[in-house]
Structure 1
Amino acid sequence: MTVHQHAGKKARPEDRINIPKVVSDYFLKTPNVNHETEQVSFGTSGHRGSSLKSSFNENHILAIVQAVVEYRKKQGFDGPLYLGKDTHALSEPAFNTAISVLIANDVPVVIQADEGYTPTPVISRLIISHNQTQTTTADGLIITPSHNPPADGGIKYNPPHGGPAEGDITKVIEQRANELLAAELEGVLDVAIEEAMASSLLFKQDFIQLYVDQLDQVIDMQAIAKAGVTIGVDPLGGSGIEYWPVIAKKYGINIDVVNPVVDASFAFMPLDKDGKIRMDCSSPYAMAGLIELKDKFDIAVGNDPDFDRHGIVTKSGGLMNPNHYLAVAINYLMTNRDWPAKAKIGKTLVSSSLIDRVAKKLNKPLAEVPVGFKWFVDGLQDATYAFGGEESAGASFIAKDGSCWTTDKDGFIMALLAAEILAVTGKDPYQHYLVLVDELGKPCYGRVEAVASSMQKKILTNMSPDMITVTELAGEKITQVLSHAPGNNAAIGGLKVETDNGWFAARPSGTEDIYKIYAESFIDQTHLEIIIEEAQSIVGDVFKAAGL
């Protein structure tokens, strides 16, 4: 993709959204259930869309939340539902809609004390803590489209394990929600928001203090404070913005929130690679402002609006590639925590093979799973996984004592871990990365996208190894062709082709009419480009064989 001429530069007036229109369209536009793009559709992390496109409107939330209520009732979940929201413009009205439906259905709801924002990892932690200590069974909803542009909205369901709902759960919710939409919401119960907010079923708690007070169970906060590590934080206007000052005060850590602004238009953001406003904390373009300040802090960090992703900036190397940081984090944790030797390292199959090499070096078991954090939930819950991470800068790991921390991605602990690594070892994460690649080889990683029809996406989803007729990739013998992840034998919804020094994976997008090719080379950039070129040719041949 060509880099937009304004990428990395502050958003212009013409780049900003019309917030009043985005919010009014949430209430005024009604989705056409006969249009696939306007139906409820759960991807790898909930339903996302835009009110402007009739894909995220009041009717969607009414139907989805009613479907969740019916699901949890059938499952016998009798505890509270923890409800969180991020700072997108559509999150506020969707939050109120959700409360109205939940209260009308006699569901006890717990929200942040000041009706403020709540990050995804906090909801996960609250669910886990409740279900470990109480006799009732809690679950949760988070109103967020993650790092998506300002006009988007999203909602995701976390069942009692605290992590993203599995596919068999989301299919039930999705199907029922679309039935309710088709029935013009007959069967949906809701009450006026004033009545809901005054209900005895609505409870308010200080989520911030509850979460912050437990952080030293998973991060060596004392080491960070003692070493005097300075941390610059850009919350990118996200839901964790009020947490950082509390963390600083509680643990005596030198934290400077360099951007304290919450603005639903995210007008303070530098534009992303494609010229859009996108709160992607792993993008050097979106993180341009923080990168400029890197020399002011020992470690600088950023997070996306729901704080399930992390961006790490070091003095020595600038913004770290998410794959590189995952490898460093795993190497550090596995050598500085007293965890069970059999606890696995979890990675998605499109994450860097540098992680595989780290696991082999440390003689630790590795589990490679399909794309989606939901595949790590069970392992993190019972601590058979010590770590689970994705190439898209999302990860979590178990507590210092080997118990479950969160079963969803936690941008706070991944950010604070970077400071702990520096405090304990005297080297920042990028310096550790240089040591790793000197020993294990330097990866070159890339990802490309291409337009794909629904039929082409279906072909890709159901690809099998026998569809690959070539025996070499970029001059190397193909050693393995995978349609199922080796870590759990789950279908990957695409294909991965491997050689000794490179690989590519092709899979369709769950939310857009595109397919993605991920690739990596341990030889050089030129070899990577050849892998990508040949991967595109291989996928093209599969389409041709299918008459597409």
Structure 2
Amino acid sequence: MAFEEHRSEIVSTTPYDGQKPGTSGLRKPVNVFMSNNYTQNFVQSILDAINTENDLLIIGGDGRYYVQEAVQIIIKMCAANGVKRLIVGQNGIFSTPAVSNLIRKHKASGGIILTASHNPGGINGDFGIKYNCENGGPAPEGVTNQIYERTKNIKQYKICPTLNVDIANIGANEYKVDGNTFRVEVIDSVADYSTLMKEIFDFPKLKTYVSNPSNKILIDAMNGVMGPYAKQIFIDELGAASDAVVHSTPLPDFGGEHPDPNLTYAAGLVKAMSSGDYVFGAAFDGDGDRNMILGHKAFFVTPSDSLAVIAANIELIPYFKKTGVKGFARSMPTAGAVDQVARKLNKNVYEVPTGWKFFGNLMDSNQLSLCGEESFGTGSDHIREKDGCWAVLAWLTILANTQLSVEELVKNHWKTFGRNFFTRYDYENCDAKKCDEMIARMEKIVADGSLLNTKYKIGNKESVIITNDNFEYKDPVDHSVSSRQGIRILFDDGSRIVLRLSGTGSQGATVRLYVDCYADDISVIEQESSEVLKPLVDIAIDLLKIKEYTGRDKPTVIT
């Protein structure tokens, strides 16, 4: 076989400020990544910081604007930096869970994922790059800090400018770069992930349920990466109707929509489900790691409840019959519904900071089977990422086994375990300086303890603040410490107010206010969540001075 011969080049560059990865990679507006050497600087910093001893990396993204161009840049730079082998998704497409699976399957050094997740796409939208390490999960803080330090001092990058790889067609090609063999394998984006799902779930049983005309489902891929995955799995494999998957073509601008699966941005799905024609509905975000679950007549399942319901029915999933159930976990802002399940099942439950990477150590040390975040992320130890399609298949498995509706399942769950009422207010693109001042003010208040023992009237009862802090997490596996993870105000009745700045925005600051409370009174658990939580929300907005610091009378999104 004849090899194409190529030579690498070293290109001088200068650092850009602010290339610090957030909770899941570096996210900025597209035009920033397209700036001279901006993408190259960050990719070189990744390659300098990581261990590529294995010499295999997985490359792909969610199909948003600039993915294909960035894939070509990364291929050229990997070749010049001595990486021996790449696995690339056809047309540069891979869902984030699919990349995690491939890293683990092939024991790769890691993967570079091109996504800004649930952020808008298009020329005026956002782009992102993140590195997932050899366990398949987002790089831990130690690695992202190394990457960031390199971005601050970078002076040159390596690239092979003459190397052009056809990523539209499946197949493997080998090249000679500086005399060394460089192999690029372009593979079907869906096949390996679909195979994994068949190993986890009982597909014949799911097909009996999903293909039944009485059990019509509706899946909204929101013009993101999940379209091809959803069509193959739900229609081709499980026999759903041919129109059961909508917005199934990945578009560079997500069709001008915001690919965030919540009641605000997935309003089309909510409207369709409200018609009563479907028993189950779900939406995915841009890169396929988040999910929203709806029942008949658009009955909404909060992510906290979704995690808890799966936990309570976990042994219905064949995978866990083989592996056993090791423990549960949730992010700190997520309401404690899964905690109630853990207590009854006598399982450990862990509270970690926001960011899926914090679940990885627990999974790798066999302490964790199932976890989730209130930001519509749910997953298990089958990979090291949250996984939207897995969550939907878990729900369909429970429905197929119990023959209950989504609403019946959730309300029966509340009657057994009690209900954790929860809401999140997002204030997007706020003035970053003012938001930092708001956090600093609250840090000072919680440090001096002046809020302790303060009494508030919440509904028809008086509640007392018993704890307030800035959440700190000590990893039980590697004993690393993550500080300043969110302001917490806890009341004696179990109610909570949590405030933090999001790490997933691309510009400005996103303020997130979380409010939750617990009730096991039958007369309360089926009340409207907004009514139950309103007194606590009003207290939070006043206490934190949200309006003064954000300049907003109302949030951008309420979930």
Give the TM interval when normalised to the shorter protein. Answer: 0.7 to 0.9
Does residue 1:92 correspond to 2:68, yes or no?
yes
Paired AA for residue 514 in structure 2: Y
Q: CA deviation at 1:462?
A: 5.8
Q: 2:10 maps to what in 1?
A: none
Correspondences of 1:9-158 after superposition (within 5 Å): 39-52=18-31, 54=32, 57=35, 59-72=37-50, 75=51, 77-112=53-88, 114-131=90-107, 137-150=108-121, 151-158=125-132
Contact 2:259–2:286 at 8 Å: present in 1 too? yes
Q: CA deviation at 1:540?
A: 4.8
Q: Deviations over 1:453-498 (max 9, x none)?
A: 2642662796684333122354312333343248756435222122
Correspondences of 1:162-181 after superposition (within 5 Å): 162-180=136-154
CA separation in 2, counterparts of 1:432 and 1:494?
A: 32
Paired AA for residue 205 in structure 2: A
Q: Deviations over 1:376-414 (max 9, x none)?
A: 01222343101110000112113xxxxxx1001111101
Paired AA for residue 440 in structure 2: I
CA separation in 2, counterparts of 1:529 and 1:465?
A: 23
Q: Deviations over 1:182-208 (max 9, x none)?
A: xxxx42011226445563422222342
CA separation in 1, counterparts of 2:405 and 2:294?
A: 10
CA separation in 1, counterparts of 2:101 and 2:358?
A: 18
Q: CA deviation at 1:236?
A: 1.0
Structure 2, unmatched stretches of 5+, are 1-12, 167-172, 176-181, 520-528, 550-559
Structure 1, unmatched stretches of 5+, are 1-30, 132-136, 181-185, 270-276, 399-404
Q: 1:18 maps to what in 2?
A: none
Which residue, out of 308, 311, 315, partners 2:292?
311
Paired AA for residue 264 in structure 1: P
CA separation in 1, counterparts of 2:152 and 2:204?
A: 50
Contact 2:325–2:369 at 8 Å: present in 1 too? no
Which 10-residue stretch deviates more, 164-173 or 209-218? 209-218
Q: 2:540 maps to what in 1?
A: 535
CA separation in 2, counterparts of 1:130 and 1:237?
A: 29
Which residue, out of 248, 258, 271, partners 1:292?
271
Does residue 1:381 correspond to 2:368, yes or no?
no
**Aligned-pair Cα RMSD in Å:** 3.0
Contact 2:137–2:357 at 8 Å: present in 1 too? yes
CA separation in 1, counterparts of 2:437 and 2:351?
A: 26
CA separation in 2, counterparts of 1:323 and 1:212?
A: 26
Q: CA deviation at 1:246?
A: 2.7
**For residues 285 and 509 of structure 1, do their structure 2 counterparts lie closer, same or farther at Cα, with a shift above 3 Å needed?**
closer
Contact 1:61–1:94 at 8 Å: present in 2 too? yes
Q: 1:478 maps to what in 2?
A: 465
CA separation in 1, counterparts of 2:323 and 2:233?
A: 29
CA separation in 1, counterparts of 2:283 and 2:225?
A: 12
Paired AA for residue 164 in structure 1: P
Paired AA for residue 103 in structure 1: A
Correspondences of 1:149-298 after superposition (within 5 Å): 149-150=120-121, 151-180=125-154, 186-192=155-161, 194-195=163-164, 199=175, 200-227=182-209, 228=211, 229-248=215-234, 251-254=237-240, 256-267=244-255, 277-281=257-261, 283-294=262-273, 295-298=276-279
Paired AA for residue 104 in structure 2: I
Which residue, out of 480, 483, 491, partners 2:483?
491
CA separation in 2, counterparts of 1:177 and 1:316?
A: 50
**For residues 58 and 81 of structure 1, do their structure 2 counterparts lie closer, same or farther at Cα, with a shift above 3 Å needed?**
farther
Contact 1:463–1:495 at 8 Å: present in 2 too? no
CA separation in 1, counterparts of 2:445 and 2:384?
A: 31
Paired AA for residue 405 in structure 2: D
What secondary structure, in the 3-state scheme, does the structure 1 residue paired with 2:226 have?
A: coil
**For residues 162 and 63 of structure 1, do their structure 2 counterparts lie closer, same or farther at Cα, with a shift above 3 Å needed?**
same
Q: Deviations over 1:320-364 (max 9, x none)?
A: 322222221222115764377771111001111222222223322
What secondary structure, in the 3-state scheme, does the structure 1 residue paired with 2:159 have?
A: coil
Which 10-residue stretch deviates more, 161-170 or 330-339? 330-339
Paired AA for residue 258 in structure 1: V
Contact 2:270–2:298 at 8 Å: present in 1 too? no
What secondary structure, in the 3-state scheme, does the structure 1 residue paired with 2:351 have?
A: strand
Q: 1:522 maps to what in 2?
A: 518
**For residues 342 and 265 of structure 1, do their structure 2 counterparts lie closer, same or farther at Cα, with a shift above 3 Å needed?**
closer
CA separation in 1, counterparts of 2:405 and 2:14?
A: 52
Contact 1:347–1:368 at 8 Å: present in 2 too? yes
CA separation in 2, counterparts of 1:210 and 1:526?
A: 45
**For residues 207 and 110 of structure 1, do their structure 2 counterparts lie closer, same or farther at Cα, with a shift above 3 Å needed?**
farther
Q: Deviations over 1:61-85 (max 9, x none)?
A: 201111111122xx35323100011
**For residues 342 and 144 of structure 1, do their structure 2 counterparts lie closer, same or farther at Cα, with a shift above 3 Å needed?**
closer
Contact 2:72–2:164 at 8 Å: present in 1 too? no
How many percent identity over aligned positions?
Answer: 22
Paired AA for residue 68 in structure 1: I
Give the TM-score taking structure 2 as reference length.
Answer: 0.78
CA separation in 2, counterparts of 1:537 and 1:487?
A: 34
Q: CA deviation at 1:87?
A: 1.8
Contact 2:333–2:374 at 8 Å: present in 1 too? yes
Paired AA for residue 191 in structure 1: C
Paired AA for residue 485 in structure 2: G
Q: Deviations over 1:511-532 (max 9, x none)?
A: 4434322111336645633333
Q: 2:311 maps to what in 1?
A: 330
Paired AA for residue 496 in structure 1: R
CA separation in 2, counterparts of 1:514 and 1:115?
A: 32
